Structure 1
Amino acid sequence: MRPSVPPPSAGALDATAVGLLVLLCALWGVAQVAVKAGNAGIAPVLHCALRSLGAAALVLLWCRLRGIRLGMRDGSLAPGLLAGLLFAGEFLLIFAGMDRTTAARGVVFVYFAPFVVALGAHRFTPGDRLTGAKLAGLAAAFLGLALAFADSLRLPSARELEGDLMCLAAAVLWGATTVVIKASRLARVPAAKTLLYQLGVSAAVLPPASLLLGESWTIRWEPPVVAALAYQVLIVASASYVAWFWLIARYPASRLAAFTFLTPVFGVAAGALLLGEPVTPALAAAVALIGFGIWLVNRPEPARPPAD
C-alpha cells in the first residue's frame, strides 16, 4: 500500500519557491554549456558517472556534518532505490542521446518531462490535479521551447533520430522520478537523503554502463574540462538538486515542473555569453510564450461553489 502523502497546496507558488526555481533554472542552463565542455575531454556516460561519484561524496559529507540519519527504517529504501535507477537511466540516456543528436533537438525532447510529471501527479498525488488551464499552460510553454529551437528541428538523420528517442525516453524517466519522490515516503525524508539515493545508485550503475558501451576511459584533464566537471559536481548535482528535491517535497509537482521550461532558455543565454553562440530573434517570442505558459499553470484556481 502506498503511504499517504499530505496533499500539496493547490495555490500558486510563493515568492520563495519562484525565486529559488528561477535560480535553479539559471544554474541548470549554464550546466548545459558545462556538459558540452566536459564532453570534449570525457566520454559522455563516464562523464556522468564521475559527476555522480563526486556529488555523492559531497552529499554524504554534508549528511554527516548535519547529522542527517541515513538509516533504512523510515521505509524509504524501496522508493529510494527505484528513484536511483530512474535517475541513472535518465542521465545515461541524456548524455548518450546528446552525443547522437544536436543539443537543440535533445533539449526539446528532454523537456517533454513536465507533461509526464503532470499526468503522474494527477494519478498518484492527492491535490495536484491536471486541469485544462495547466494542460494549456504546459502546451504553451512547450511550444515556446520549440519556437526557440525551431531552426534545428529539421528532419533528422537516422543517428539523430536515435538520439531524439533517447532524450524522449530520458524525459519519461525524469518525470517518473519526480512522481516517485512526491508520491512515496521520499517526500518525508530530508532532501539530501533523497538525492543521495539517486547519486549512490547512479554512481554504481553508470561506470559499468560506460564499459559496456565501449567508451574510452582516457580523460583529457584540461582546464575547461576540469572546470566543467567541478561546476557540475559542486553546484548542479549536489547543491541545486538538494534544493530541487526540497521543493518537490513541499509544493505541487506539476507547478514546479512548468518552470523547468526556462532552463534551456537560460542555456541559450549562457551559450551566447560564454561561447559566443548567436541568439535568434525568435528567442524573445519564445520567452514570452514560456512565461505565459508558466503563468497559466501557476495561476490560482477559481474557488468551487459549495455542494448543496
Structure 2
Amino acid sequence: MGLMVFLCAVWGLNQVAAKLANAGISPVLQAGLRSAGAVPLLWAWSAWRGVALFNRDGSLGAGLLAGLMFAGEFALIFWGLDYTAASRAVVFLYTAPFVVAAGMHVLVPAERLNRVQTLGLGCAFLGIIAAFGETLALPSGTQWIGDAMLLASAVLWGATTLVVRNSALGRLSAEKTLFYQLAVSAVALPLASLALGEAGLRQPTPLVWGLLAFQVAGVAFASYLAWFWLITRYPATRLSAFSFLTPLFGMGFGAVLLGEPLTWPLMLGMGLVGSGIWLVNRK
C-alpha cells in the first residue's frame, strides 16, 4: 500500500513534468521517446540481475498484445486531448479501475469485490468527479469525440492490466513484462505521432530534456517496473483502486510547482478517494 501511494505520487508529478515538456516536444512523440529511452535502462538492469528477456517461454503473443494496448492507450489519450478538456479527460480515463474490477470478477472469482468494496470503488470515483467534474456538462461540438477516445483509452488501460494478470505474462518477471510494452510503444508511438501530424521537436530547452529524463528513468523505467511487480503478486482490483490518487497528486503538484489553484473540490475529492481506497482494502 505504501509503494502504491508512492507510485501514484510519482505518476501525479509526471503529469506536471509532461505538461511542462509539451512546450518543447509534442505529446505523443514525448511518450514514444520516454519508452525508447527506458528500453536500454531496463535492458541493462535485467542483464545486471541476470533476468532473461529473449528466452522462449510462450509469452510472445500476450506480450505483443499488451504492448500494442499500452501504446494505443497513450495515443488515444493525447489525441483525445485535442478534442476535449483535460478535466473531462481525467474523469473518463479513471473509469479504468471498473474495467479491471469487472474483468477480474469474471476471470478470477477469488478476487471478486464484495458489496462494501464495490461501494468503496464507487466512492473513490465520486472523489474524481468532485475534484474534476465542474466541467462535466453535456459535450459540445466535437467534444464527444475526445470523450469517447478517453473512454476507449481507459478500457485499454484496464484490459492491459487484465492481460498481464491472467496470461503467461503473469508468470514472468516484471522486467520482461515491462520490456514488451516499452519496446512495442517505442516503435508505435513515434509512428502515431507522424500519423497525427505532430510538430515533433520544437526547440526543446535543457529543462525540457531534464523533464524527459525524469520521465524515462523515474516513470517509464522505475515506476512501471514496480507496478508490474505489484500486479503479479497482489489483487489487481485493490491495486487499481489506488490509481484514483494519481490525478489528485497531479493537481496538488500543479498547485505547488505551477501555482495552479488548490480548490475545495480537490480537498473533497481527496477525502472521498481516501475513504474509497480504505473501503476497498480494509480487512
Question: Aligned partners of 2:127, 2:73: CA distance in 1, in Å?
Answer: 24
Corresponding position: 1:270 with 2:241 = no
The separation in 2 between residues aligned to 1:150 and 1:164, in whole angstroms, is 13
Deviations 1:271-305 (A, max 9, x none): 000000001112222111111111111122xxxxx
CA shift for structure 1 position 209:
1.5
1:260 to 2:243 alignment? yes
Q: Tell me how far apart the structure 1 counterparts of residues 53 and 110 of structure 2 sit (CA, whole Å).
A: 29
Which residue in the other structure is 2:104 paired with? 121
Listed as ranges, the matches of 1:1-308 within 5 Å are: 18-300=1-283
Q: What CA distance in whole angstroms lies between the structure 1 residues aligned with 2:112 and 2:56?
A: 31
1:135–1:297: 8 Å Cα contact kept in structure 2? yes
Displacement of 1:169: 0.8
Distance 2:4 2:91 in 1: 19
CA distance, structure 1, for counterparts of residue 137 and residue 17 of structure 2? 25
Q: Which moved more, 1:110-119 or 1:54-63?
A: 54-63
Structure-1 separation of matches of 2:228 and 2:108: 16
Call closer, same or farther: CA 1:177–1:163 in 2, change over 3 Å: same
Instruction: Say if 1:28 and 1:267, in contact at 8 Å, map to a contact too.
Output: yes
What code does the residue aligned with 1:63 have?
S
How many angstroms apart in 1 are the aligned matches of 2:80 and 2:226? 26
Q: In 1, distance between residues paired with 2:248 and 2:128?
A: 8
* Structure 1 residues 219 and 63: CA distance shift in structure 2, 3 A: farther
TM-aligned CA deviation for residue 126 of structure 1: 4.4
Runs of 4+ in 1 over 6 A off after TM superposition: none
Please identify which structure carries the higher helix content.
2
Aligned-partner residue type, residue 199 of structure 1: L
RMSD across aligned positions (CA): 1.4
**d(CA) in 2 for partners of 1:101, 1:61:** 39
The aligned counterpart of 1:6 is none
Give me the TM-score of the superposition, normalised by structure 1: 0.88
Query: How far, CA to CA, are the matches of 1:55 and 1:99 in structure 2?
Result: 27
The alignment partner of 2:137 has SS state of: coil
1:15-38, Cα deviation, whole Å (9 max, x unpaired): xxx110000000000111111112
SS at match of 1:157: coil
Structure 2 CA distance for partners of 1:111 and 1:42, relative to 1, 3 Å: same
In structure 2, relative to structure 1, the CA distance for the partners of 1:156 and 1:35 (3 Å cut) is farther
Report the more deviating stretch, 193-202 or 63-72. Answer: 63-72
**Matches of 2:52 and 2:180, distance apart in 1:** 13
**Structure 1 residue 230, shift from structure 2 partner:** 1.3
Range that drifts further, 96-105 or 252-261: 96-105
AA matched with 2:141: A
Distance (Å, rounded) in 1 between the aligned partners of 2:40 and 2:79? 24
Q: Which has the larger radius of gyration?
A: 1
Question: Matched residue of 1:127: which SS?
Answer: helix
Contact 1:44–1:99 (8 Å) recurs in 2: no
